[in-house]
Chain A
Amino acid sequence: MPTVSSELHPLPPPAIEVDDLVKTYGEVEAVRGVSFTVARGEVFGFLGPNGAGKSTTINMLCTLAWPTSGTARVNGFDVVRERDDVRRHIGLVFQDPTLDGQLTATQNLRLHAELYDIDPGAIPARMDQMLEMVDLTDRRDQPVMTFSGGMKRRLEIARGLMHSPRVLFLDEPTIGLDPQTRSAIWRYVRALQEREGTTIFMTTHYMDEAEFCDRIAIVDRGEIVVLDTPEALKASVGADRVAVGTEDDDAALTALRDRFGIEATIAEGAATFHVASGEAFVPRLFAELGVGITSVAVSRPTLDDVFMRYTGTTIRDAEATPGRERSAMQVFSKARQ
């Protein structure tokens, strides 16, 4: 991202500026000092397992939760001191539905427009445009409770955009949706970003979705582990991922260490490690490991690998292992949920 000193050129402020943001709930440290800046027009992803502090961060940026310490500015406005200014310039799509099912699609949009004090003359045209963008024009006058989950989410996105927000916050916008709807939603998000220059801040725990972002921050246990473009992150792993299913995982780990000098970890039931050239390594593995091999998978680096490289676990394991929370507790001697 090109950065220009704002003292020399009075540029508009960045879309989001976060400095050492902390949120604790009693003893629980949900967010422990995150800092980052999101440029205008950027699609910025917050990636991490459930409970990593993504939603808490988004809630603070949206003025729905007060930071315990640290500051955050959205569109140049402080999220605590200039709460209403922030609210006027952001759009929100939550994880949980917040539509009125009894109202029709247009009534939901109209209500939003009224609450945001949009110029009445501009409402019908804006409404048509938003409904068209999310392909709901033909359902516009039907009650929302008759909509499928994907349609509801699309309508929520349309509604979040009614007032032309400068920053659109999407909290897990595609969670629980089928792949087709997910890719459709990504198309809208991209189209929107190109047409209106809207900054998009989103959280996700789908690795493949993070690829759509300009930059992503990988968060784990309330902290940003690493922040960069998806390409740079993948390059930083720089190696192929090899996952070996064996008859005896512990023996395999020992053998890998002793004979190849490789530190592997058990992830999703397979001894997993990174080597520069995966395909070339497999024959050696069979010849020299000395532990029965049941399966081998070699893959190019993905964001999964990035996550693994920086957190030492896969995102699915991170969500599935309650014990990990406990070890975090011991390490930081602070309880969290």
Chain B
Amino acid sequence: MNAAVTDVIAARVTERSWRAEARAVRAVWWREMIRFADDRVRIVTALIQPLLFLFVLAPGLQTLSAASTDGVDLTTFMFPGVLCMAMWFSAMISAASLVMDRQLGFLREMMVAPVRRSSIVLGKCLGGMTAAMLQGVILLALAGLVHVPYAPVLLLGIFGLQLLIAFTVTALGVMVATTIRQAQTFNSVMQVLVFPTVFLSGAMYPVSGLPAWLGVLNRLNPLTYAVDPMRRLVFNHLDISEAARHRLAPGVTWWGWRVPSLAEVGIVLALGLAMLAVAIFQFTRTE
């Protein structure tokens, strides 16, 4: 540098610090938010599927199942499952953006920045979580329509579980996205992953008394451990008969042992952390 450059507003890049990393995480998150807010179509479409399940499929099936739900509306029964499902869908869409970033070149801009790759992954995850949560909260606001009371403890509990699911599913999506280079491939993989996972999770049926093979697949499905605590939480706040509670929210059992909600939450959290670690590892390894 010499004296002739005084009129130049020089920017200074500081040494790497946790503050700088936090700033990078926030910047990546901020970008996700701008893109999310811009994409109104996505906000609406991501809500359509859960709403279809809740207000079209459930009332329709109600005509078949009224006798076996002990007076509980099928819509009410499905509500916790649909909440989980909605998080699942929208977090996947967020993760897809990482593949698009790679394809459209923007990923390179982030990859060459003097920040940890883990900060970029974290920012992405937080962005996906926030987007999923915004949609989750909209669905949660509909609780009254499906006869779920607006009890503060319940709402808070659901919110916490949604946050947990959003985290784990986004981590899963980002993990898959770090290994896939083509948006089309990612979409196919997600198609194969999303629906079986939702159908096997018990989001739409009670998980007791299933055929043996289905019971096994259900227990192996991570989403099961998100749906179950959510349903138990909601059913604890419903004014229904003990028989209905027992039949509709039986809880997940391992060889007859009923897995406590807290353990289920722990499983989902541990899975999320593990997948995040893999995602960061994959991402850091890339040249």
Contacts and interface: CB of A to CB of B under 8 A. Distances in A.
Interface of A: 62-66, 84-85, 87-89, 92, 94, 96-103, 107, 111-119, 122-123, 125-126, 129, 159, 162-164, 195-197
A84 B114 contact: yes
Contact of B11 (A92, A103, A119, A197): A119
B13 A89 contact: yes
A125 B12 CA distance: 13
Given A88-B114, A103-B34, A107-B34, A115 B287 contact: no
Contacts of A88: 13, 114
A107 B106 CA distance: 13
Nearest to A107: B34
Interface of B: 1-2, 5, 7-14, 16, 19-20, 23-24, 26-28, 30-31, 34-35, 38, 104-115, 287
B38 A116 contact: no
Nearest to B120: A115
Contacts of B28: 115
Contacts of A84: 16, 114
Nearest to B7: A195
A99 B106 contact: yes
| Interface core residue of B10, B13, B16, B20 (most chain A CB under 10 Å) | B13
Given A64-B111, A111-B27, 15 more contacts: A62-B112, A96-B105, A103-B34, A107-B34, A111-B31, A117-B114, A119-B11, A119-B14, A122-B12, A125-B9, A126-B10, A164-B10, A164-B12, A195-B8, A197-B5
A286 to B, nearest CB: 54
Which of A112, A114, A159, A196 has the most chain B CB atoms inside 10 A of its CB? A114
Contact of A102 (B34, B109, B287): B34
Chain B CB within 10 Å, residue with most, of A63, A98, A123 = A98
A87 B9 contact: no
A164 B26 contact: no
Ranked 10 nearest A-B pairs via Cβ:
A114-B27, A115-B113, A87-B114, A117-B20, A98-B105, A118-B11, A98-B109, A88-B114, A164-B10, A88-B13
A115 B24 contact: yes
Given A92-B112, A107-B34, A115-B113, A126 B11 contact: yes
B100 to A, nearest CB: 10
Nearest to B27: A114
Contact of A115 (B27, B104, B107, B108): B27
B17 to A, nearest CB: 8
A337 B256 CA distance: 61
A59 B234 CA distance: 55
Contacts of A94: 105, 108
A117 B24 CA distance: 8
B9 A197 contact: no
Nearest to B286: A64
Nearest to A87: B114
Most B-side CB within 10 Å, residue of A62, A89, A159, A164: A164
Given A114-B23, A115-B24, A118-B12, A102 B1 contact: no
A118 B287 CA distance: 25
26 contacts: A63-B112, A64-B287, A66-B287, A88-B13, A94-B105, A96-B108, A97-B104, A98-B108, A100-B31, A100-B104, A101-B104, A103-B35, A113-B11, A114-B23, A114-B26, A114-B30, A115-B113, A117-B13, A117-B19, A117-B24, A117-B114, A118-B12, A119-B14, A129-B8, A164-B13, A197-B2
Contacts of A101: 104
A103 B31 contact: yes
Contacts of A64: 108, 111-112, 287
Contacts of B30: 111, 114
A97 to B, nearest CB: 5
Nearest to A65: B287
A118 B112 contact: no
Contact of B14 (A85, A100, A117, A195): A117
Contacts of A162: 11
Contacts of A97: 104-105
Contacts of B104: 97, 100-101
Contacts of B114: 84-85, 87-88, 115-117
A100 B106 contact: yes
Nearest to A41: B2
A102 B104 CA distance: 11
A196 B5 contact: yes
Contacts of A114: 23-24, 26-27, 30
Contacts of B2: 197
Nearest to A113: B11
Given A114-B23, A115-B27, A163 B13 contact: yes
